[in-house]
Structure 1
């Protein structure tokens, strides 16, 4: 997970919310498409939870507070995130992100400034595992979001391998300036407004290296 900065909500959502007895399920397909597009843009086309690449065709709109228990938030843009399909339809042990989370509450909202301190507790281990130094969030990562299934761990591990390969491609040690420049590339979007998949892993690794200087 990385911090998400919310943008201005789509006009179609605002207009729909102004209608009497408006619900999310009544939102038109066109309005939902516009909403999904806006969420993808602000998240750099990454799943809000696992950070894998998502596009319009393989993403869905997640309500951080579920609609069934928090009906007043069903049309609240701040409550919405773009997420991956999370192995929907597969064995529950392989499901992750919103698909695994369902209607369960979690403590960390990547687009809420109040959760910033929780995002800062996240760390990535050499085997690709994501953990938090905050015990409750760590439990939620394992059991509710299921972010440590083997495929996701392998993908994160491969990011670190790729980063190390770049750093080791030059003879001798990398300077602080060189590492900072490489870190900035991982923090930046491409010309299409997209972050690199699992960028949070590379950012964490490179920031740790910088702290050693």
Structure 2
């Protein structure tokens, strides 16, 4: 996930309000434009769980990586805005995930900041668990983002199982791995949880055993 150019309306909004105006973002009327831009650049995937998002205020959120409550000056900073799923909004706290569970907590790394290299910090287990070797971030994956809820693990496991089946059933699969990676990452709209498959394929490209 890489940030692109921000919507013109956001640039204009920032020029008309004080950077720490408490209503600066809340009164910004062109959020539809931001949602559309985020969905496009994130290839229709939630910034955290990698589930599907669509440009609809009832089906996705504009997430502030650094929350508005504690980082008011970043409320209109496009590099701080991400597209997130609803994350179990309205459900009990132990069923919530992504932005809904995160609330005003801070995260160590931003998935849209190339310098944070999020993809290289994650790994996936056969049961669909996502984890990090960094203890602080690993705790945030579970306690702040709730990314190992049963249904999320199940969705990731299904992707892992499918790409493992491809690997084992395709003649000369190793010679076709890069083609598979390119196909998945260059799609205008990614399949939900497809970065999990890309991670698996890159392990194989690096010579991991079957």
TM normalised by structure 1 equals: 0.90
Considering only aligned residues, what root-mean-square deviation do their CA atoms show, in Å?
A: 1.4
Q: Which 10-residue stretch deviates more, 151-160 or 104-113?
A: 104-113
Q: 1:27 to 1:158 in 2, by over 3 A?
A: same
- Equivalent residue of 1:110, what SS? coil
The answer on whether the counterparts of 1:160 and 1:205 sit within 8 Å (CA) in structure 2 is yes
Q: Deviations over 1:80-113 (max 9, x none)?
A: 0000000000011010000000000010101113
User: What are the equivalent positions in structure 2 for 1:106-117 lying under 5 Å apart?
Assistant: 106-116=107-117
User: What are the equivalent positions in structure 2 for 1:119-130 lying under 5 Å apart?
Assistant: 119-130=119-130
User: What are the equivalent positions in structure 2 for 1:51-200 lying under 5 Å apart?
Assistant: 51-57=50-56, 58-116=59-117, 118-170=118-170, 173-189=171-187, 193-200=188-195
The answer on whether the counterparts of 1:63 and 1:80 sit within 8 Å (CA) in structure 2 is yes
Q: Deviations over 1:50-77 (max 9, x none)?
A: 0011101211100001111111110101
| Distance in 1 separating the partners of 2:50 and 2:160 | 14
The answer on whether the counterparts of 1:108 and 1:119 sit within 8 Å (CA) in structure 2 is no
Q: Deviations over 1:25-67 (max 9, x none)?
A: 1101xx1000110011111110000001110121110000111
Q: Which 10-residue stretch deviates more, 93-102 or 193-202?
A: 193-202
The answer on whether the counterparts of 1:109 and 1:115 sit within 8 Å (CA) in structure 2 is yes
**Aligned structure 1 segments of 4 or more residues deviating by more than 4 angstroms:** none
Shift of 1:183: 2.1
- Matched with 2:5 is 8
| Distance in 2 separating the partners of 1:37 and 1:20 | 23
- Matched with 2:197 is 202
The answer on whether the counterparts of 2:129 and 2:148 sit within 8 Å (CA) in structure 1 is yes
Q: 1:166 to 1:175 in 2, by over 3 A?
A: closer
Q: Deviations over 1:102-159 (max 9, x none)?
A: 000010101113311x431200000000000111000000100000000000000000
